[in-house]
Chain A
Amino acid sequence: MKKRQPKTYTRLTHPLVRDTRDEPFRRASWEEALDRVARGLQRNRDAFGMFACARATNEMNYVAQKFARVVMGTNNVDSCNRTCHAPSVAGLSAAFGSGGGTSSYEEIEHTDVIVMWGSNARFAHPIFFQHVLKGIRNGARMYAVDPRRTSTAEWAESWLGLNVGTDIPLAHAVAREIIHAGLANQAFIERATTGYEEYKKLVEPWTLSLAEKVTGVPARAIKELAHAYARAERAQLCWTLGITEHHNGTDNVRALINLSLLTGQVGRYGAGLQPLRGQNNVQGGGDMGAIPNRLPGFQDILDPDTRLKFESAWDTVIQPHYGLNLTEMFEAMEEGSVRAVYCIGENPAQSEADSDQAVRRMRQLDFLVVQDIFLTKTAELADVILPATAGWAETDGTTTSSERRVQRVRKAVTPPGEAREDIDIMCDIAARLGHDWKYADAEAVWNELRSLSPDHYGMTYDRLEEHQGIQWPCPSTEELEPTYLHSRLWEKDPQRRGMPAPFGIVRHDPPVDLTDEEYPIRLTTGRRLDSYNTGVQSGGFASPLRRGEYVELSPEDAERYGVVVGEEVQVSSRRGAVVAPVWVEPALRPGLAFMTMHFPDEVDTNSLTIEANCPIAGTAEFKASAIRIEKLPVATIVR
């Protein structure tokens, strides 16, 4: 079989500019390129959006959001966390007032029950899964909830293969079973939660048999999961994009959090909630305020005292309302209310759901500057391209991991050509727009952040080095906090207990893109072990595991369509069509297909996916599209 290697990208080494979108780029000096950027942004001051980067350092994200808020006077700043884990942040902060995972990796080695819900961590988070495996070797029982029987699921005591988009029915049925079996943690519910009675009513209709009908999972399996989770002395509930990448992602997250509140599986060592982040700094980007509703340190923009603190520190006025999130910025491009975008290290032309639409919208911009290390599909749309450094290997700074651990990133290699560090570039543009920022180095940025974010105050670079990273919150330069969050919920004293955690009253809402006779197959998406996102980085090394993009079908469906491994078929959704070779995958059941977004230059999977967004977090429903498979040549005309 032909080995398909994806397109390899080479590094950008010089600024590129062009006068109009239909002419080719030409090499420019930094002076010229930055002047052009300054002019382009200046004229769109009231219609600006900043795409920060979930892969760049905390320091870069801090400066980027400061650029948006101080230089451009807007809260329109966001990053690709929107396309993955924003619902986790939204759900967790609604319940606990803080958007981070509540536990640490090490705790999962010492827990009793692990639930991996919508997470193929074995592939997507291999080193986290090593901690899970330690837990399993230490005697923990693991349960996997996933439409596919993934490598992760193969380690489970019990795998529950639910229908795509039926997580809430399953969670509610688990809750109802726990309540009816008398396994709810009444002490915790009374002390630390609100809304239990309403929640009880909400889940009451979700009997095991109804849940079996809706989710496809046998009632006995649901019951076993419910009992295992509720009876465990410690349990960890982990999820990834199988939960969040739905049109109701935040509701899904709330439904899972509810289970932890019902059983008191949170706020203790070994008991907690762990959303697994897809990018090295998706946690830190939000922590640094590179999101439209929070200032650095996850401090709410709507809080006047917080604003005042930042206004005096930055000598500026901060808009007293939330900005647009990434999804809304794309909609605003359509309306013309966002006309200039500064896109740093993101590739929305390929990573957004319904990518054709995303490209069309970016073409409508008056001015697009892309700062990246490669000439990505998004960069190809730009007016100015600025060559940057690879955050993880060519700059100093910090990133924040899924377990809230801030760790040092260090410069190991010199960037190619004239490529420059993101912070320096932004400062030069800020200077051209009248803001003369001076940062000696990344540490200087970090220290400014520390002075404004109490949760980060105790983390000096020296301490980060000493402890191999420190988890937030870290308010003191002398002490370290426990590895888990929200122990306050277990306090007897209501004063110290603080805000109780509300149960989320969330209802089942099936995927928007319904399957029918015309589009009978449910397509879900995910990652493979050796590739990453749109493949721009991971395409650079010769992975022996890589076989390019395939549409994975169950053996039964392959037989039904009369197709074999390697045979190219047309895959169509209501939005687009691609041609992809077939892979036959026994982990799938009939009616379920799987693709990735790793090879968009070969197979643009996201032209199939639906941009049905979570109204709270703005994340699209990458995990559920309706498709049909056709043998080639297709008789009908490709739309």
Chain B
Amino acid sequence: MTVTELGIPRRLLEFTLDGEAVRAPEGATILDACRASGKDIPTLCEGDTLRPKNACRVCVVEVEGSRTLVPACSRKVEPGMEVRTDTERSRHSRKIVLELLASSVDLSTTPQVAEWIKEYEAKPDRFGPDAARLNEEPRVDNDLYVRDYDKCILCYKCVDACGDQWQNTFAISVAGRGFDARIAVEQDAPLTDSACVYCGNCIEVCPTGALSFKSEFDMRAAGTWDEPAQTETTTICAYCGVGCNLTLHVQDNEIVKVTSPHDNPVTHGNLCIKGRFGYQHVQNRD
């Protein structure tokens, strides 16, 4: 409960952010500090329930004295550090990263990315019509969720959520190397032959829609997915006594997707198969 403070109070560190002196608690990342002072930096692989992987490199900023740019999502603030978030150099890298991703991956369901592409004047088409793409087909091998790796930016969040950070099921890993690296279960088998327990905690963290509820996938295919028309209501799962918080996404009085609040002390955004997918009985209406 919120009242029991375990740690000792954190020291405040002073550093310079875009020319202004700011203070951030020890252990905070540059991104934390930016957000605290109202600065927006694009992020893709960063997740509020996961340790930073800093794989996408879209959040890079300049730190005085550093040879290369540094990822704001993982670099911790140090006293006296001079950080600049919006230099030509960092904007250039962000633009190229967006171009590289957009030219190889289907970002059509990645929130915000279209705005960033505009903001950074990225031109993914410049690599020509023959630029290599992932060219993956959606994998529909079970009734609960779909893996559309054509939309995968390889952010590792699903692997981390399935692995030692939360679920500890380790059903997926990155297999292969380089541009051919893909998220896969052992032997790249169908999900149904894998260790997957269908908790859907990978869907919860997927930033691009590569992983989605089958209900969402089907509705998008049918053109009926209408996010603005959906309501989100948080309630408590009925499948055991643990008390997991479920956020029901409802469209036309049908539950179409279930998530969990990431800041919830019980779930931290995680659910099990029953909580995530076991809602159908409520709407077996005739």
Q: Which residues of A contact B (CB under 8 A)?
A: 8-11, 13, 55, 104-106, 110, 124-128, 130, 133, 137, 269, 276-283, 373-374, 390-394, 399-403, 405, 407-414, 416-417, 467-471, 479-483, 529-532, 536-545
In the complex, what distance in Å separates the CA atom of A543 from the CA atom of B143?
7
In the complex, are the beta carbons of B1 and A127 less than 8 A apart? no
Which one, B1, B238, B264, contacts A471 given CB within 8 A?
B1
How far, in Å, is B263 (CB) from chain A's closest CB? 8
Give the chain A neighbours of B192 by CB distance below 8 A: 544
Binds A, one of B57-65, B147-155, B161-169, B174-182: B161-169
Given contacts A13-B286, A408-B236, A539-B281, contact A468 B198 (CB under 8 A): no
Binds A, one of B27-35, B106-114, B245-253: B245-253
Q: Which residues of B contact A (CB under 8 A)?
A: 1-4, 6, 142-144, 164, 166-168, 191-192, 196-199, 231, 233-246, 248, 250, 253-255, 261, 263-268, 270-275, 277-286
How far, in Å, is A349 (CB) from chain B's closest CB? 18
In the complex, what distance in Å separates the CA atom of A417 from the CA atom of B245?
27
Which one, A125, A393, A414, contacts B241 given CB within 8 A?
A125
Which one, B1, B167, B233, B241, contacts A280 given CB within 8 A?
B241
In the complex, what distance in Å separates the CA atom of A13 from the CA atom of B285?
8
Which one, A482, A531, A536, A538, contacts B4 given CB within 8 A?
A482
What is the predominant secondary structure among interface residues of chain B facing chain A? Answer: loop
Give the chain B neighbours of A269 by CB distance below 8 A: 4
Residue of A124, A276, A408, A413 with highest tally of chain B CB at under 10 A: A413
In the complex, are the beta carbons of B236 and A392 less than 8 A apart? yes
Give the chain B neighbours of A137 by CB distance below 8 A: 164
In the complex, are the beta carbons of A126 and B243 less than 8 A apart? no
Closest B residue, CB atoms, query A400: B243
Which one, B248, B255, B271, contacts A127 given CB within 8 A?
B271
In the complex, are the beta carbons of A106 and B265 less than 8 A apart? yes
In the complex, are the beta carbons of B250 and A412 less than 8 A apart? yes
Which one, A133, A412, A483, A544, contacts B255 given CB within 8 A?
A412
How far, in Å, is B243 (CB) from chain A's closest CB? 3
Closest B residue, CB atoms, query A107: B4
In the complex, are the beta carbons of A279 and B241 less than 8 A apart? yes
In the complex, are the beta carbons of A55 and B238 less than 8 A apart? yes
In the complex, are the beta carbons of B231 and A541 less than 8 A apart? no
Give the chain B neighbours of A402 by CB distance below 8 A: 241-243
How far, in Å, is B179 (CB) from chain A's closest CB? 30
Given contacts A11-B286, A393-B255, A483-B4, contact A544 B144 (CB under 8 A): yes
Give the chain B neighbours of A413 by CB distance below 8 A: 248, 250, 253-255, 282-283
In the complex, what distance in Å separates the CA atom of A399 from the CA atom of B274?
18
Which one, A278, A393, A405, contacts B235 given CB within 8 A?
A393
Closest B residue, CB atoms, query A416: B285
How far, in Å, is A138 (CB) from chain B's closest CB? 12
How far, in Å, is A598 (CB) from chain B's closest CB? 11
In the complex, are the beta carbons of A11 and B243 less than 8 A apart? no
Give the chain A neighbours of B268 by CB distance below 8 A: 130
Which one, B6, B197, B233, B244, contacts A412 given CB within 8 A?
B233
Give 20 CB contacts A-B under 8 Å: A10-B286, A11-B282, A11-B285, A13-B286, A124-B240, A126-B197, A127-B272, A277-B242, A280-B241, A373-B281, A373-B282, A390-B281, A408-B234, A410-B234, A414-B253, A416-B283, A483-B4, A530-B278, A539-B281, A544-B192
Give the chain A neighbours of B240 by CB distance below 8 A: 124-125, 276-280, 532
In the complex, are the beta carbons of A467 and B267 less than 8 A apart? no
Give the chain B neighbours of A401 by CB distance below 8 A: 236, 241-243, 266
In the complex, what distance in Å separates the CA atom of A403 from the CA atom of B243?
9
**What 4 pairs between A and B have smallest CB-CB spacing?**
A277-B241, A401-B243, A540-B281, A126-B272
Closest A residue, CB atoms, query B214: A542
In the complex, are the beta carbons of A537 and B270 less than 8 A apart? no
In the complex, what distance in Å separates the CA atom of A430 from the CA atom of B84?
69
In the complex, what distance in Å separates the CA atom of A390 from the CA atom of B248?
14
Give the chain A neighbours of B238 by CB distance below 8 A: 55, 279-280, 390-392, 537
Which one, A399, A530, A531, contacts B236 given CB within 8 A?
A399
Give the chain A neighbours of B6 by CB distance below 8 A: 110
How far, in Å, is A527 (CB) from chain B's closest CB? 9
In the complex, are the beta carbons of B235 and A410 less than 8 A apart? yes
In the complex, are the beta carbons of B191 and A127 less than 8 A apart? no
In the complex, what distance in Å separates the CA atom of A124 from the CA atom of B29?
37
Closest A residue, CB atoms, query B166: A130
In the complex, what distance in Å separates the CA atom of A280 from the CA atom of B166?
22
In the complex, what distance in Å separates the CA atom of A78 from the CA atom of B143?
38
In the complex, are the beta carbons of B241 and A536 less than 8 A apart? no
Residue of A9, A126, A281, A540 with highest tally of chain B CB at under 10 A: A126
Closest A residue, CB atoms, query B244: A127
How far, in Å, is A597 (CB) from chain B's closest CB? 15
Given contacts A126-B197, A467-B1, 20 further A-B contacts (CB under 8 A): A8-B281, A106-B265, A126-B273, A130-B268, A130-B270, A276-B242, A277-B240, A392-B246, A401-B243, A405-B266, A413-B254, A468-B245, A480-B2, A529-B272, A531-B274, A541-B144, A541-B280, A542-B280, A544-B144, A545-B273
Which one, B234, B273, B280, contacts A540 given CB within 8 A?
B280
Residue of B6, B245, B246, B265 with highest tally of chain A CB at under 10 A: B265
Closest A residue, CB atoms, query B248: A412
Closest A residue, CB atoms, query B241: A277
In the complex, are the beta carbons of A282 and B241 less than 8 A apart? yes
In the complex, are the beta carbons of B243 and A541 less than 8 A apart? no
